[in-house]
Amino acid sequence: MRLPFEITATDPGSRARRGSFLTAHGRIETPTFMTVGTRATVTGLDPADLREVGAQVLLGNTYHLMLRPGIELFRRVGIHRFMNWSGPVLTDSGGYQIFSMTGDRTMHERGARFRSYVDQRMHLLSPELSIEMQTAIGSDIMMVLDECIDSTSDEATTRAAMERTHRWALRSLAARTSESQALFAIVQGGVVPALREESAAFLTQQPFDGFAIGGLAVGDARAQREDVTALSAELLPRDRPRYLMGVGTPPDLVHAMGCGVDMFDCVLPTLLAWQGTAFTSTGRVKVTRAECGRSDAPLDAACACATCKQFSRSYLHHLFKCGEPLGSRLLSKHNLHHYLALMAEARAAIEAGGYAAWAKEKLAAIDRHEHAGGGRA
């Protein structure tokens, strides 16, 4: 299917764009941040919590869901019914997870052979099996299987992985059987501009419904990541969604939206919440620090989330010091609200024609206190 993607506004001072597209389970307003629910759950939160913070799209992971609960369950019920989520779902193909298991997998043309962390059995994840699994899951947007490598690998290694990603993309396209599920390709090429250009040129000749920028936040520096994001976004078709995979501090998102990227995901909001770190309008706050234990102020006075309206920094500090899981739950809700509110502000700024000025002001408030790596889902 071709997603009916509509651009409703562009920013005169940047390449930021405001749009929307319709999936089988609802409309997605862009730019959007997709909440990561790797194993068909966002850790510590239920669907009502996600609706409360304004989540539009959830992201599940094919690799993890293939291993547990497995394809037969999803053939029976599908992910929406299984996790009681009625909105859109995107599934990653599992390429990054395979990349992460350096000691327990081998890569070859058929696919990736790896040892399961669930039962220690060997499995083969091929482009065809990834699409079969995602079809059973019933996600609204499926991703092709790609070969992810360290983004700073030498050019020969990067080219080989990129070319295999292209071959796998064509196999994924051929394996597709569901017209109601969109399929996105993934542009690779590390931090080599010529390879990024070659990858985009090849993939955009194929009938994919959208295009992702992959292979970043895996060894690259921030400046490299920003350069590759800007170049890659410019190479992608205007009439289809652009998705930056797994990159996700707020400054990363602000920069990438200015380059014309429409979709994002990252595990950082919930991962750091469980470690006691909150994203706020003035940068990161570590609630386990002693000064928070002495503060009766809200976590972020500028935030309208339920955590900030109802609880003080000292209470959150107390929960973490006591090991109470409520602390992580409250921070998770706050962090996701923060990210989703950032997207809503960006959409409004683009509509008003003032994104460039808004982004400059936003970065001045948070960037010097915030950037600590790109993150990965």
Q: Which residues are catalytic?
A: 92, 265
Count the helices and strands in the chain (H runs, E runs).
15, 16
Q: Which residues of 284-318 are buried (b: 16+ CB within 10 A; e: fewer)?
A: bbebeeeebbebeebbbeebebebbeebebbbbbb
Q: Which residues contact 137 (CB under 8 A, 6 or more apart)?
A: 60, 62, 65, 74, 78, 79, 89, 91
Chain-centre distance of CA 65, in angstroms?
A: 17
- 201 SS3 class: helix
Q: At what angle do helices 313-322 and 325-351 cross, to 10 degrees?
A: 140
Give one DSSP letter per residue of 314-340, joined into a string: HHHHHHHHHT-HHHHHHHHHHHHHHHH
User: How far is the C-alpha of 271 from the C-alpha of 133, rounded, in Å?
Assistant: 26
CA angle 206, 209, 211 (to 5 degrees): 80
Contact 154, 131 (CB under 8 A): no
User: How far is the C-alpha of 53 from the C-alpha of 116, rounded, in Å?
Assistant: 34
